[in-house]
Structure 1
């Protein structure tokens, strides 16, 4: 009888231990907070496939290119609280490190594992609607991922939350100050100002000077395809000679179509020297005249070379 009672006691004790273990596991490892910690760990390590496979993660209707692990940087984050409202756990997460912030992830029970442990999923998708508007060029980078906005229009991306996204542009002729945003849910907007680099401005200035020098080499009163010329009423008796006495300082600005650039009107002065004969008395004299002009161009590229096309003149 004592042996039987001993076995019964052992079974009861073991059952108590097992039940206690299940309760502890449900309150920690298999809790809503535990689910969020697992999610944060996978996201910080860039295991995007695992993240996207979790119940409730939905990126429908959004551009999914930023789901690439190259597009974002994982962050150090910790669970700080779990508030239950109805059937939904509102798990507050704090991002630590150089970039700090908080977000709330909504989690709900979606089933049971092994008839003992709760299974969790997101009640609201942990995705930030991140709208990027580039100016100057449709191409940019998110992290190390090259991205292009079709036609330069704003693009609304799905950004996993929480994670850091840094947008920029760096090429031979264009640059942009990096813009970093912490995806923390809801919506966020990024304006990326892509502008000419110093190398681009120098290349355009050299191309403008070469074009105007070529104009000045033409021995006619109205050099072809050039921004200056001079009308003379008297008879011209020598070849006109042009020189550029004030070379324009070219500026580079976006044109009316994103991804293309232009030189707006740049002011300069050409000098004309030519011998003319008076129609009134037949006398011959040398005409010396400074001719102000404004040079405007459309900019194109031939490989790494800048090519100018005169704007309407």
Structure 2
């Protein structure tokens, strides 16, 4: 009898250990399934690929569908890596999950602003009979359309991107900040940034051309040189110049001129002309010259020093010579 009791107790201990091992195995499988094979793992991997600038892996991970007719320049390399330079505080959580699929939310900041993106995933297969492998549903990519009249390329996130017909639609991987800009010797455009955070987002920016500082400097140099040909003339009526001084008396000696307020015309370029020598123009600008001379009284021979300010308007055309240098002509 005593022997049977010992056998029973041993059997119960053995059964308890088996049940404990099964429970431990189940807990282990559940934890591994959640933290190594769960849908959040796929989203974390996707974000890692984005921050590495690895567009091929990111595109494959998200099951991204590139819209027809879009340019792929932003989907890899420096353009992609720069898009996530300000990506911080990434927090990933499962919003819902069942046997058919899961919704995983990524919360993060871009350039200091809070954003969130939801990703849809589905069970793709099972490994070892226990572990569920998840995959993203087909994800259409957001697009960014960049246009700038008169140019054939622009910079997006520091990468040169072609703009055939002065416009192009680019596919992009969310989330990220994409900044379009343009800079050449004579033309600048104020950079414009867009945050792309969701699959159904389609944004567009138009860059407005303006004269670069180099262009402004050359225009001022040309105007100064032009006006110098006028101030060098020792006459009250400089030939071919925008200013003169009416005086009925007699001048003793020679008059002298100087510019005391330089005209500073605005520079503009019409649509479609930013990358060419056509379409550039200068607005009329006001300036002030100063003339000095000695007047002679013919009756008594007395003299008087005269200095007068002479307002004038400078009106000229802006162009380029055969070498591409800026020309200003009245």
Instruction: Classify the TM-score, shorter chain.
Output: 0.5 to 0.7
Question: Aligned partners of 1:309 and 1:123: how far apart in 2?
Answer: 60
| Aligned-pair CA distance for 1:200 | 1.3
Question: Aligned partners of 2:14 and 2:209: how far apart in 1?
Answer: 78
| Aligned-pair CA distance for 1:80 | 4.2
| Aligned-pair CA distance for 1:262 | 0.7
- 1:87 aligns to what SS in structure 2? coil
Residues 23-32 or 12-21, more deviating: 12-21
Residue in 2 that maps onto 1:37: 44
Question: Aligned partners of 1:149 and 1:31: how far apart in 2?
Answer: 42
CA contact (8 A) 1:266 1:294 kept: yes
Question: Aligned partners of 1:294 and 1:85: how far apart in 2?
Answer: 74
Q: Residue 105 of structure 2: which of 61, 67, 92 is its match? A: 92
Equivalent positions of 1:124-135 (< 5 A) are 124-125=138-139, 127-135=141-149
Residue in 2 that maps onto 1:168: 181
Residue in 2 that maps onto 1:254: 269
List per-residue Cα deviations over 1:40-97 (Å, max 9, x = no partner).
1221232222212226222242211011331133212222442358934332221226
CA contact (8 A) 2:215 2:326 kept: no
List per-residue Cα deviations over 1:147-187 (Å, max 9, x = no partner).
2312322x221111112222223444333333232211122
Q: Does 1:53 align with 2:60?
A: yes
CA contact (8 A) 2:92 2:105 kept: yes
Q: Residue 220 of structure 2: which of 205, 219, 223 is its match? A: 205
Equivalent positions of 1:179-218 (< 5 A) are 179-185=192-198, 186-207=201-222, 210=225
Unpaired runs of 5+ residues, structure 2, are 1-6, 233-238, 243-256, 288-311
Residue 267 and residue 182 in structure 1: after superposition, are their counterparts in 2 closer, same or farther (change >3 A)? closer
Residue 139 and residue 208 in structure 1: after superposition, are their counterparts in 2 closer, same or farther (change >3 A)? farther
Residue 294 and residue 171 in structure 1: after superposition, are their counterparts in 2 closer, same or farther (change >3 A)? closer
Residue 172 and residue 104 in structure 1: after superposition, are their counterparts in 2 closer, same or farther (change >3 A)? same
- 1:100 aligns to what SS in structure 2? strand
Question: Aligned partners of 1:249 and 1:55: how far apart in 2?
Answer: 54
Q: Does 1:64 align with 2:72?
A: yes
- 1:259 aligns to what SS in structure 2? coil
Unpaired runs of 5+ residues, structure 1, are 218-222, 229-242, 270-290
Total equivalences in the alignment:
269
Equivalent positions of 1:98-247 (< 5 A) are 98-125=112-139, 127-135=141-149, 137-153=151-167, 155-185=168-198, 186-207=201-222, 210=225
Q: Does 1:307 align with 2:307?
A: no
Residues 159-168 or 255-264, more deviating: 255-264
- 2:317 aligns to what SS in structure 1? strand
**Structure showing greater Rg:** 2
| Aligned-pair CA distance for 1:20 | 2.3
